[in-house]
């Protein structure tokens, strides 16, 4: 057996193996951004992962960008998350929550009082939003006022506190995939002229303030961050990604974070994204654990872990149709294919009804 399947230390925790279930949007939350009761069984079925990073979860109503994604900003949501974390713990698993603010990747029809989505600058992303009335082009967002930014940091801190109340083992700051923190970081989406725009230092400021606030709640050894330096997902652009990410990762070392989780290629797409980016530079800089993600199969994951190129490997889509993915990878069993029609929305079909091999 390779190291991939062996127990490992993860900050204050001992994990069953080095396989991580990546955060996956499944759009089955109830009205009020309340996680569905079906999510109890869904995550419990997947608790043999060394670590589950639960789906991206908005830290405020303003942070929402898709129909039926769950929230972590009020007591009703905490109540609904509790049996989910308990079920995973009862099976010997560990579960972190991914804290999310979508920024401009939203639509006024999904926002409180029909307001425009917010962003660093009033620059629309090219793309579509799936609204209650079907697909619509993403709107030109409203640029956040300087005076609003402490409130954004406070939303993250509040969400981090509620995640603790809900029984999570830690949290992952979603700094990837063209959402709010990534929008601030990149010069394609951030044209601000205040202390949060312009230089790389200024563009990284909000992300670092958010990490500091979340660490103040959890301690660095229970906080990770996800970044996607090469991914063009959600129309994100940066003129100097290597310099941008080297700076931000260096600064993250201040917080003694548990892990850095990278989408190594295009989100949900190919790994070989052009751009001359050296990912190993980020791994050299970062002092914590490294979770690799993006299109890994068993052989790639074993090689990465055995050669010390990754501490853990996160699998996304394979976990949707293979609740017992760890067992299947360990035994070389065939993987079940997923049904794209049931990825987002709906109920148990395509969610909790993918069987394990030997029930």
Q: Does 189 sit near ligand PHB (CB under 6 A)?
A: no
Residue 68 as a binder of ligand PHB (CB under 6 A): the answer is no
Name the residue nearer to ligand PHB (CB basis): 66 or 218: 66
Whichever of 238 and 324 has its CB closer to ligand PHB, that residue is: 238
Q: Which is nearer to ligand PHB, 50 or 65 (CB)?
A: 65
Task: Give me the catalytic one of 43, 179, 247, 290.
Answer: 179
* Residue 320: CB minimum distance to ligand PHB, A: 12
Q: Is the dihedral of CA 29, 84, 323, 97 positive or negative?
A: positive
Place of tokens 């295009």: 266
Beta strand 170-174 pairing with 128-131: unpaired
Least separation in angstroms between CB 15 and ligand PHB:
23
The smaller minimum CB distance to ligand PHB, of residues 121 and 177, is found at: 177
Question: How many residues of this chain bind ligand PHB (CB under 6 A)?
Answer: 6
267 part of the interface to ligand PHB, by CB under 6 A = yes
The residue (of 20 and 87) whose beta carbon lies closer to ligand PHB is 20
In degrees rounded to 5, what are phi and psi of residue 273? -90, 135
Torsion (CA) 72, 74, 76, 77 in degrees, nearest 10: 0
CA distance 352 to 77: 21
56 binds ligand PHB (CB under 6 A): yes
Residue 308: Cβ within 10 Å count: 10
Mark 160-179 with x for binding to ligand PHB (rule: CB under 6 A) and - for no binding.
Answer: ----------------xx--
* Residue closer to ligand PHB, measured from CB, 180 or 312: 180
Q: In the chain, where does DSSP find H-type helix?
A: 38-45, 75-90, 149-165, 180-185, 200-218, 241-252, 279-285, 298-306, 317-321, 325-331
Position among 2, 3, 13, 25 found at the interface with ligand PHB (CB under 6 A): 25
What residues have CB less than 8 Å from 256, skipping those under 6 apart?
A: 220, 221, 287, 288
Using rule CB under 6 A, residue 140 touches ligand PHB: no
Dihedral, 249, 251, 253, 256 alpha carbons, nearest 10: -120
| Residue 351 appears among annotated catalytic residues | no
Tell me the three state secondary structure of residue 289. Answer: strand
Is 238 within 8 Å of 187 (Cβ atoms)?
Answer: yes
> Is 59 a residue that touches ligand PHB (CB under 6 A)?
no
Closest residue to ligand PHB, Cβ-based? 25
- By CB under 6 A, is residue 121 in contact with ligand PHB? no
Active site residues: 179
Residues that bind ligand PHB (CB under 6 A): 25, 56, 66, 176-177, 267
């Amino acid at each position: 057996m390779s190291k991939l399947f062996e127990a490992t230390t993860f900050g204050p925790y001992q994990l069953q193996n080095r396989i991580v279930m990546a955060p996956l949007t499944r759009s089955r939350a109830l009205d009020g951004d309340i996680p569905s009761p079906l999510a109890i069984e869904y995550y419990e079925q997947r608790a043999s992962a060394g670590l589950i990073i639960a789906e991206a979860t908005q830290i405020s109503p303003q942070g929402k960008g898709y129909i039926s994604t769950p929230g972590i900003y009020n007591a009703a949501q905490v109540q609904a998350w509790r049996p989910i974390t308990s079920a995973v713990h009862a099976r010997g698993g560990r579960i972190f929550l991914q804290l999310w603010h979508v920024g401009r990747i939203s639509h006024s029809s999904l926002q409180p009082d029909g307001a425009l989505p917010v962003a660093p600058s009033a620059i629309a992303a090219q793309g579509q939003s799936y609204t209650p009335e079907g697909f619509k082009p993403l709107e030109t967002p409203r640029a956040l006022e300087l005076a609003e930014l402490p409130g954004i940091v406070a939303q993250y801190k509040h969400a981090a506190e509620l995640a603790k109340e809900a029984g999570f083992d830690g949290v992952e700051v979603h700094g990837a995939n063209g959402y709010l923190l990534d929008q601030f970081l990149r010069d394609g989406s951030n044209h601000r002229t205040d202390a949060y725009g312009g230089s790389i230092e200024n563009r990284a400021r909000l992300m670092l303030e958010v990490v500091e606030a979340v660490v103040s709640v959890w301690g660095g050894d229970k906080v990770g961050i996800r970044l996607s330096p090469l991914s063009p997902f959600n129309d994100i652009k940066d003129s100097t990604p290597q310099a941008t990410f080297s700076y931000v990762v260096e600064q993250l070392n201040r917080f003694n974070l548990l892990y850095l989780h990278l989408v190594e290629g295009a989100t949900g797409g190919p790994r070989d994204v052009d751009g001359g980016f050296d990912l190993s530079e980020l791994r050299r800089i970062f002092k914590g654990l490294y979770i690799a993600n993006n299109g890994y199969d068993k052989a790639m994951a074993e090689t990465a872990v055995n050669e010390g190129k990754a501490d853990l490997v996160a699998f996304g889509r394979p976990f949707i149709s293979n609740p017992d993915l760890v067992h299947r990878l360990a035994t070389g069993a065939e993987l079940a294919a997923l049904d794209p029609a049931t990825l987002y929305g709906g109920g148990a079909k395509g969610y909790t009804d993918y069987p394990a091999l030997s029930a």
